[in-house]
Protein backbone atom coordinates (compact mmCIF):
# COMPACT_ATOMS: atom_id res chain seq x y z
CA UNK A 1 0.00 0.00 0.00
CA UNK A 2 2.98 2.31 -0.22
CA UNK A 3 1.92 5.48 -1.99
CA UNK A 4 4.96 7.71 -2.10
CA UNK A 5 2.62 10.67 -1.59
CA UNK A 6 3.44 11.69 1.96
CA UNK A 7 4.20 15.30 1.05
CA UNK A 8 0.61 15.69 -0.14
CA UNK A 9 -1.15 13.31 2.17
CA UNK A 10 0.41 14.45 5.42
CA UNK A 11 2.03 17.85 4.99
CA UNK A 12 -0.75 19.30 2.86
CA UNK A 13 -3.51 17.81 4.99
CA UNK A 14 -2.00 19.09 8.21
CA UNK A 15 -0.31 22.20 6.89
CA UNK A 16 3.41 22.82 6.53
CA UNK A 17 3.55 24.80 9.77
CA UNK A 18 3.56 23.03 13.15
CA UNK A 19 0.05 22.07 14.23
CA UNK A 20 -1.46 23.94 17.19
CA UNK A 21 -1.18 22.26 20.57
CA UNK A 22 -4.31 20.22 21.17
CA UNK A 23 -5.28 17.23 23.26
CA UNK A 24 -3.36 14.04 22.55
CA UNK A 25 -4.66 12.01 19.63
CA UNK A 26 -6.80 14.94 18.47
CA UNK A 27 -6.27 14.74 14.72
CA UNK A 28 -9.25 13.66 12.62
CA UNK A 29 -9.04 13.39 8.84
CA UNK A 30 -11.52 16.07 7.69
CA UNK A 31 -14.65 15.33 5.68
CA UNK A 32 -13.37 17.74 3.02
CA UNK A 33 -10.66 15.25 2.01
CA UNK A 34 -13.32 12.85 0.70
CA UNK A 35 -12.59 12.19 -2.97
CA UNK A 36 -8.84 12.64 -2.54
CA UNK A 37 -6.15 9.99 -2.23
CA UNK A 38 -5.00 9.83 1.37
CA UNK A 39 -2.52 7.80 3.33
CA UNK A 40 -4.62 4.81 4.56
CA UNK A 41 -3.27 5.19 8.09
CA UNK A 42 -4.87 8.64 8.29
CA UNK A 43 -8.28 7.04 7.70
CA UNK A 44 -7.91 5.35 11.07
CA UNK A 45 -8.12 8.78 12.73
CA UNK A 46 -11.84 8.81 11.88
CA UNK A 47 -14.36 7.22 14.29
CA UNK A 48 -16.53 6.03 11.38
CA UNK A 49 -13.63 4.14 9.78
CA UNK A 50 -12.51 2.63 13.08
CA UNK A 51 -16.06 1.44 13.72
CA UNK A 52 -16.37 -0.02 10.22
CA UNK A 53 -13.13 -1.97 10.65
CA UNK A 54 -14.05 -3.04 14.18
CA UNK A 55 -10.93 -1.63 15.82
CA UNK A 56 -10.79 -2.20 19.56
CA UNK A 57 -9.80 0.53 22.01
CA UNK A 58 -6.16 -0.58 22.08
CA UNK A 59 -5.85 -0.57 18.28
CA UNK A 60 -7.51 2.85 18.06
CA UNK A 61 -5.15 4.33 20.66
CA UNK A 62 -2.10 2.86 18.95
CA UNK A 63 -3.29 4.17 15.58
CA UNK A 64 -3.68 7.68 16.98
CA UNK A 65 -0.18 7.58 18.42
CA UNK A 66 1.28 6.32 15.13
CA UNK A 67 -0.54 9.06 13.19
CA UNK A 68 0.79 11.74 15.55
CA UNK A 69 4.34 10.45 15.17
CA UNK A 70 4.27 10.11 11.38
CA UNK A 71 2.63 13.50 10.93
CA UNK A 72 5.35 15.08 13.03
CA UNK A 73 7.96 13.41 10.83
CA UNK A 74 6.18 14.68 7.72
CA UNK A 75 6.03 18.26 8.99
CA UNK A 76 9.76 18.07 9.71
CA UNK A 77 10.38 17.63 5.97
CA UNK A 78 9.45 21.25 5.32
CA UNK A 79 12.44 23.12 3.92
CA UNK A 80 14.65 20.08 3.33
CA UNK A 81 16.37 19.59 -0.06
CA UNK A 82 14.19 17.76 -2.59
CA UNK A 83 16.35 14.64 -2.84
CA UNK A 84 16.56 14.23 0.93
CA UNK A 85 12.86 14.95 1.43
CA UNK A 86 11.92 12.44 -1.26
CA UNK A 87 13.74 9.61 0.47
CA UNK A 88 12.37 10.59 3.87
CA UNK A 89 8.83 10.66 2.46
CA UNK A 90 9.29 7.11 1.22
CA UNK A 91 10.52 6.08 4.67
CA UNK A 92 7.41 7.58 6.24
CA UNK A 93 5.16 5.74 3.80
CA UNK A 94 6.98 2.48 4.48
CA UNK A 95 6.62 3.03 8.22
CA UNK A 96 2.88 3.61 7.83
CA UNK A 97 2.55 0.47 5.73
CA UNK A 98 4.45 -1.58 8.32
CA UNK A 99 2.24 -0.27 11.10
CA UNK A 100 -0.91 -1.33 9.27
CA UNK A 101 0.42 -4.80 8.56
CA UNK A 102 1.67 -5.27 12.12
CA UNK A 103 -1.39 -3.93 13.95
CA UNK A 104 -4.44 -4.85 11.86
CA UNK A 105 -5.85 -8.29 11.31
CA UNK A 106 -5.93 -9.63 7.77
CA UNK A 107 -9.66 -8.92 7.53
CA UNK A 108 -9.25 -5.40 8.90
CA UNK A 109 -6.45 -4.68 6.46
CA UNK A 110 -8.53 -5.93 3.55
CA UNK A 111 -11.48 -3.82 4.62
CA UNK A 112 -9.25 -0.76 5.01
CA UNK A 113 -8.11 -1.23 1.41
CA UNK A 114 -11.77 -1.19 0.32
CA UNK A 115 -12.58 1.90 2.39
CA UNK A 116 -9.42 3.55 1.05
CA UNK A 117 -10.67 3.02 -2.52
CA UNK A 118 -14.14 4.27 -1.67
CA UNK A 119 -12.68 7.35 0.02
CA UNK A 120 -10.73 8.34 -3.07
CA UNK A 121 -13.49 7.26 -5.41
CA UNK A 122 -13.32 7.27 -9.23
CA UNK A 123 -10.00 9.12 -9.46
CA UNK A 124 -8.38 5.90 -8.18
CA UNK A 125 -9.03 4.44 -11.63
CA UNK A 126 -6.39 6.80 -12.95
CA UNK A 127 -4.13 7.49 -9.96
CA UNK A 128 -3.54 3.78 -9.31
CA UNK A 129 -2.04 2.02 -12.28
CA UNK A 130 -2.76 -1.43 -10.88
CA UNK A 131 -6.50 -0.68 -10.97
CA UNK A 132 -6.57 0.68 -14.51
CA UNK A 133 -4.63 -2.39 -15.61
CA UNK A 134 -6.92 -4.76 -13.75
CA UNK A 135 -9.99 -3.19 -15.36
CA UNK A 136 -8.17 -3.08 -18.70
CA UNK A 137 -9.15 0.50 -19.37
CA UNK A 138 -8.68 1.53 -22.97
CA UNK A 139 -6.75 4.63 -23.93
CA UNK A 140 -10.03 6.34 -24.80
CA UNK A 141 -11.57 5.43 -21.45
CA UNK A 142 -8.54 6.77 -19.61
CA UNK A 143 -8.73 9.98 -21.62
CA UNK A 144 -12.40 10.49 -20.76
CA UNK A 145 -11.82 9.75 -17.10
CA UNK A 146 -8.86 12.13 -16.91
CA UNK A 147 -11.01 14.90 -18.41
CA UNK A 148 -13.80 14.20 -15.92
CA UNK A 149 -11.37 14.15 -13.00
CA UNK A 150 -9.73 17.38 -14.13
CA UNK A 151 -13.15 19.02 -14.37
CA UNK A 152 -13.89 17.89 -10.82
CA UNK A 153 -10.51 19.14 -9.63
CA UNK A 154 -11.12 22.57 -11.16
CA UNK A 155 -14.46 22.85 -9.35
CA UNK A 156 -12.82 21.66 -6.17
CA UNK A 157 -10.03 24.18 -6.52
CA UNK A 158 -12.51 27.00 -6.96
CA UNK A 159 -15.10 26.06 -4.35
CA UNK A 160 -13.53 23.34 -2.20
CA UNK A 161 -15.22 20.02 -1.54
CA UNK A 162 -18.71 19.79 -3.02
CA UNK A 163 -20.78 16.55 -2.98
CA UNK A 164 -22.38 17.55 -6.27
CA UNK A 165 -19.04 17.59 -8.09
CA UNK A 166 -18.14 14.19 -6.62
CA UNK A 167 -21.51 12.78 -7.68
CA UNK A 168 -21.03 14.09 -11.22
CA UNK A 169 -17.65 12.37 -11.41
CA UNK A 170 -19.11 9.11 -10.12
CA UNK A 171 -21.92 9.27 -12.67
CA UNK A 172 -19.52 9.99 -15.54
CA UNK A 173 -17.31 7.09 -14.43
CA UNK A 174 -20.18 4.63 -14.66
CA UNK A 175 -20.96 5.93 -18.15
CA UNK A 176 -17.37 5.40 -19.27
CA UNK A 177 -16.96 1.90 -17.85
CA UNK A 178 -18.43 -1.15 -19.56
CA UNK A 179 -20.80 -3.39 -17.60
CA UNK A 180 -18.08 -6.00 -16.89
CA UNK A 181 -15.72 -3.24 -15.75
CA UNK A 182 -18.40 -1.78 -13.47
CA UNK A 183 -18.88 -5.19 -11.89
CA UNK A 184 -15.15 -5.61 -11.26
CA UNK A 185 -14.93 -2.09 -9.83
CA UNK A 186 -17.86 -2.80 -7.52
CA UNK A 187 -16.17 -5.95 -6.19
CA UNK A 188 -12.95 -4.03 -5.56
CA UNK A 189 -14.83 -1.37 -3.58
CA UNK A 190 -16.51 -3.94 -1.36
CA UNK A 191 -19.53 -3.27 0.88
CA UNK A 192 -20.61 0.36 0.99
CA UNK A 193 -18.88 2.55 3.57
CA UNK A 194 -20.94 5.54 4.68
CA UNK A 195 -18.83 8.39 6.09
CA UNK A 196 -20.28 10.03 9.18
CA UNK A 197 -19.73 13.81 9.12
CA UNK A 198 -17.27 14.87 11.80
CA UNK A 199 -18.15 18.60 11.60
CA UNK A 200 -14.43 19.09 12.25
CA UNK A 201 -11.71 20.82 10.23
CA UNK A 202 -8.91 18.45 11.14
CA UNK A 203 -8.53 18.51 14.91
CA UNK A 204 -10.81 17.97 17.84
CA UNK A 205 -10.35 17.84 21.58
CA UNK A 206 -11.14 14.46 23.11
Residue 20 lies in a domain: yes
pTM to 2 decimals? Answer: 0.83
Number of domains present in the structure of the chain: 2
Quick one: pLDDT band at residue 157, thresholds 50, 70, 90? confident
Q: How far apart are CA 120 and CA 133, in angstroms?
A: 18
The range of the structural domain enclosing residue 182 comes to: 121-189
Question: What pLDDT score was predicted for residue 138?
Answer: 97
Residue 200 lies in a domain: no
Question: What pLDDT score was predicted for residue 22?
Answer: 39
Q: Give yes or no: residues 141 and 87 share one domain.
A: no
Quick one: pLDDT band at residue 159, thresholds 50, 70, 90? confident
Q: Give yes or no: residues 73 and 138 share one domain.
A: no
Give the residue-averaged pLDDT of 20-24. 42
Q: Give yes or no: residues 15 and 28 share one domain.
A: yes
Tens digits of per-residue pLDDT, 65-77? 999 999 899 889 8
Amino acid sequence: MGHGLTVILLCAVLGAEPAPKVAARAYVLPDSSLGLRVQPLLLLSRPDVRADLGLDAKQAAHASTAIDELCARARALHGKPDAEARELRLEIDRAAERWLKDNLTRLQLRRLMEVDLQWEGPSALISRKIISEHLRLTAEQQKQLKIAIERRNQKRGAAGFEPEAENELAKKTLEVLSQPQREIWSVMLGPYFEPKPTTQTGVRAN
